[in-house]
Amino acid sequence: MPSLIRLLAKRLGTSLIVLIGVSLLIFAIARVIPGDPARIALGPNATAEAIAALRDRLHLDQSFLTQYGYFLADLVRGDLGTSLYTNRPVTSDIAQFLPATLELVIIAGLMMVAFGLPLGILSARHRGTFIDHAIRMVTLLGVSAPGFVWAVILMLVFAYFLPLFPIAGRISDSFTIPPVSGFLLIDTLLAGNIRAFGNAAWHIVLPAFALALSGIGQAARLVRSNMVETYDKPYIEMAQSYGFAEKRIARRYAFRPSLIPSLTIIGLDFAAMLGNAFLVEAVFAWPGLSRYGVAVILRKDLNAIVGTVLIMSALFLIVNIVVDLLVSIINPRIRLSQRAS
Amino acid sequence: MSAPTLKIEDLKLAFKTHRGLIEVLHGISLHIRKGERVALVGESGSGKSVTARIVLGLLQQMKTARIAGKLEFEGRELDRLSRRDRHQLRGTKMSMIFQDPTSSLNPTYTIGVQFREVLDRAKPGISAADARLKAVEALADVSIHEPERVLDSYAFQLSGGMNQRVMIAMALANNPSLLLADEPGTALDVTVQAQTLRLMSTLAEKHHTAVLFISHNLGVVREFADRVYVIYQGNIVEQGPTGALFDNPRHPYTRALLAAVPRITGGGIPDIAETTDDFFAPLAAHAGFSEKELLA
């Protein structure tokens, strides 16, 4: 499919421009917020000489553009600088914390699709009936509160009052899993430790579900409303006039065309989870990049802030590209117009 | 004489609303014999399209619809059939053509895929290769010169006229005994509409398919129908052979309808009353063309 490759190339090109813009912006914002990073890093008892030395090492006394130039030069070498908070290269911090966040967000995203789409389809197929009303009520509840509120509620109910799930963390301390990918669900399997895998899966259920709830509600409601609208299209009546089975009509004539507008929004919701994960991670003491991000912002750890935001933006863009590709696969209009242009 | 392909007797339809029942059809009767082309003519809202949908059984799924009357298809009473048997008729023994061909095709599948779904109704499990062969044949029948290209296209890539031909080919592909044409091609321009209707008409003849034309377009009706029923506000007000009905309209509503056709010579559209008591005059059947005489 050369048209898809062209689409991909185009999107990658624009994404690069967006990333440069984001880096400039966050680079500037990080420097505008009040406070001297060198002073914060070295503490209140540091001597003026020590602070001046650190400022010099960080090029903080140079012009903004020079600083950005140093940053870019390092970036192309894959170096995001050193974190003043952890005293380690920002890249190794990210490599350590990112997999936990990705794992959480991916599981939440899967939950969103696995629960949201079927609920929406069910609701649309039985529109106007009790099933529809019940689903709409429940999903409204899902979208009506942000993820961190659900996180607290779920934790209280299912980990504290009913101790069905662990309160916090990624895995019980009794397991030692050699990190390979950083994804515990994968590493435990690689280690051949099924019990550890079960334990990690058991830990991720509540935080992922809390993160996914509003997405599930959003996806279900979106799929329902788009599908109900599609049910009024002439091709539905045409399909009925030919006596196609209701299930087939629901799947191929109502759901599939209605998925095109739904998918874009679901993709955005998925990407938004990267941000929402900040608070959910905080509630569940989930050792992910989001928690790291909050910590470094509070300490005005310039390199770490820029690195974290840059990685998050890149992930956001990647998700969007994937969604665009999926949309163009199910929407022949886009696929074919790519070929024509 | 064998049983008519379709016989509707005293069909009534009402919709339940929060303000009570709204009656749409007040007991209409009509029939179509094998291979006959019959038109049901009336203004919008007169009850033409709902009649076709009741025949297919589409309106019956609506919870608010109240339907009474007798429907017979090839001598079998439709309401006595099991749900499954009745469902089985759709797309095999009866099929329908819609107003706007382009929006009546699924935008996410190619014509070929949809054609196979239609053929699968009559021959469940038909192979892709067989379906394609039959589809190519059917498309050639409606004078499509590059059937292969059309099968691999999506509806939005084809012209309205082309889609209309595709719809006709699909509707007749399973050799139905009854074709319900609901304002076929009203969304198309006039020359394309005439072309495709001619195709549909000759093809229906070739398949010995009875056609129920539902239209407000008197020019189309005059050219393509053997017999005409005029419907006004849920009542059949006049029925007869096409020629006689057009030359000598008996019912005041039919006269008004014919007077409303704009003439190419100009003079504008004549002023006719929105509704008068005359329009509710009893059914006027042309000699020898009442339901009783025709079905005797």
Q: Does B157 touch chain A (CB under 8 A)?
A: yes
**Shortest CA gap B83–chain A (Å):** 12
Q: CA angle B41-B46-B51, nearest 5°? A: 75
The whole-number average pLDDT for the span A204-226 is 92
- Domains defined for chain B, CATH in brackets: 6-295 (3.40.50.300)
Instruction: Give me the total of CB pairs closer than 8 Å, taking one residue from chain A and one from chain B.
Output: 65
Query: What pTM was computed for the model?
Result: 0.80
> CA of B183, closest CA in chain A: separation in Å?
13
Of the candidates B91, B107, B154, the beta carbon closest to that of A242 is on B91
Are A37 and A61 a contacting pair, CB within 8 Å? no
Which residues in chain A are contacts of B96 at CB distance < 8 A? 238, 241
B16 touches chain A (CB under 8 A): no
Using a CB-CB cut-off of 8 Å, the residues of chain B touching A129 are none
Q: Which residues of B touch A260 (CB under 8 A)?
A: 108
- CB distance A239–B107 less than 8 Å? no
Given A257, A330, A333, which is nearest B106 (Cβ)?
A257
Cβ–Cβ below 8 Å for A242 and B121? yes
Our CA-based measurement puts residue A245 at a distance from the nearest CA of chain B, in whole angstroms, of: 9
Please give the structure tokens belonging to residue A100.
């936990």
Q: Compute the nearest-CA separation of B205 from chain A (Å).
A: 21
B221: CB partners within 8 A, 6+ apart:
B39, B41, B213, B215, B228, B242
C-alpha angle B52-B63-A130 in degrees, rounded to nearest 5: 145
Q: How far is CA B35 from CA A225, B27, B52, B201, B225, in A?
A: 43, 25, 17, 10, 11
Q: Do B108 and A233 touch (CB under 8 A)?
A: no
pLDDT digits (tens, 9 = 90+) for A155-175: 888 888 888 888 888 888 777
Three state DSSP letters for chain B: CCCCCEEEEEEEEEEEECCEEEEEEEEEEEEECCCCEEEEECCCCCCHHHHHHHHHCCHHHCCCEEEEEEEEECCEEHHHCCHHHHHHHECCCEEEECCCCHHHCCCCCCHHHHHHHHHHHHCCCCCHHHHHHHHHHHHHHCCCCCHHHHHCCCHHHCCHHHHHHHHHHHHHHCCCCEEEEECCCCCCCHHHHHHHHHHHHHHHHHHCCEEEEEECCHHHHHHHCCEEEEEECCEEEEEEEHHHHHHCCCCHHHHHHHHCCCCCCCCCCCCCCCCCHHHHCCCEECCCCCHHHHHC
The answer to whether the Cβ–Cβ distance between A331 and B108 falls below 8 Å is: yes
Give Cα B32 distance to the centre of its chain.
Answer: 11
**For residue A235, is pLDDT > 70?**
yes
Across the interface, do A244 and B117 touch by the CB < 8 Å criterion?
yes
Contacts of B187 in chain A (CB under 8 A): none
Please indicate whether, in this complex, the C-beta atoms of B121 and A333 are within 8 angstroms of each other: no
φ/ψ of residue B100, rounded to 5: -110, 100
Do the Cβ atoms of B109 and A252 come within 8 Å?
yes
Q: Helices in chain A by DSSP H: which ranges?
A: 2-32, 37-42, 48-57, 64-76, 90-125, 130-144, 147-155, 184-190, 194-230, 234-241, 246-248, 256-283, 289-298, 302-330, 332-340
Angstrom distance (rounded) from CA A293 to CA B149: 55
Residue with tokens 């749409």: B24
pLDDT at A299 over 60: yes
Which pLDDT score, from 0 to 100, does residue A44 have? Answer: 76
pLDDT at position A340, please?
A: 46
Question: Could you give the percent of chain A with pLDDT greater than 90?
Answer: 24
The mean per-residue pLDDT over the stretch A17-31 comes to: 87
CB atoms within 10 A of CB A79: 15
pLDDT for the residue numbered B268: 63
Q: List the Cα angle A284/A285/A291 in 5-degree steps.
A: 115
Q: Which of A235, A333, A335 to mutate to test the interface with B (most CBs of B within 10 A)?
A: A235
To the nearest whole angstrom, how far is the Cα of B119 from the nearest Cα of chain A? Answer: 10
Average pLDDT of the residues in A285-293:
86
- Smallest Cβ–Cβ distance between A243 and the set B107, B121, B157 belongs to B121
Q: Where do you find CATH 1.10.3720.10 in chain A?
A: 96-294
Q: Which class is A96-294 in CATH? A: mainly alpha
Q: Which of B49, B88, B108, B110 to mutate to test the interface with A (most CBs of A within 10 A)?
A: B108
Instruction: Provide the token pair at B100.
Output: 């706007």
A243 vs B90, B98, B156: nearest CB: B90
Structure confidence at residue A341 (pLDDT): 40
Residues of chain B numbered 261-290 and touching chain A (CB < 8 Å): none
Is the model's pLDDT at A338 over the cut of 80? no
| Closest approach of A341 to chain B, Cα-based (Å) | 15
Strand partners, B77: B72
Query: Quick check: B87 and A333 CB within 8 A?
Result: no
d(CA B233, CA B228): 16
Which residues of chain B, if any, have pLDDT below 70? 1, 266-274
> For the residues A278-287, what does the mean pLDDT come to?
86
* A150 Cβ neighbours under 8 A, 6+ residues apart: A209, A210, A213, A214
Chain B: give the shortest CA distance to residue A100, in Å. Answer: 38
**Per-residue model confidence (pLDDT) at position B176:** 92
- CB contact under 8 Å between A336 and B96, yes or no, is no
Please list every residue in chain A whose beta carbon sits closer than 8 Å to the beta carbon of residue B105. 235, 238
A332 to A119, A226, A339, B146: CA distances (angstroms): 26, 18, 11, 21
The count of C-alpha atoms lying within 13 angstroms of the C-alpha of A119, restricted to the half-sphere facing its C-beta, is 24
Q: What percent of chain A has pLDDT over 70?
A: 98
A170 three-state secondary structure: coil
Neighbour tally for B270: CB within 10 Å: 11
8 Å CB contact of A235 and B107: yes
Q: Is B106 on the interface with A (CB under 8 A)?
A: yes
Residues in chain A: 341
Q: How far is B290 from chain A (nearest CA, A)?
A: 30
Say whether residue B98 is in contact with chain A using an 8 A CB cutoff: yes
Check CB contact of B87 with chain A, cutoff 8 Å: yes
Task: Answer whether B106 sits within 8 Å of A333, measured CB to CB.
Answer: no
Query: Confidence band (pLDDT; 50, 70, 90) for A301?
Result: confident
Length of chain B: 296
Chain A contact set for B110 (CB, 8 A): 332
Angle between helix A90-125 and helix A130-144 axes, rounded to 10 deg: 160
Which candidate from A242, A253, A260 shows the least CB-CB separation from B95?
A242
Check: CB of residue B228 under 8 Å from CB of residue B245: yes
* pLDDT tens-digit series, residues A71-123: 888 888 888 888 878 888 999 999 889 999 999 999 999 999 999 999 999 99
Rounded mean pLDDT, A122-143: 91
What is the nearest CA distance from A220 to chain B, expressed in angstroms? Answer: 21
Chain A's closest residue to B53, CA to CA, is A241
**What pLDDT, on the 0 to 100 scale, is given for residue B269?**
62
Phi and psi for B236 in degrees, rounded to 5?
A: -75, 125
Dihedrals phi, psi of A128, to nearest 5 degrees: 85, -5
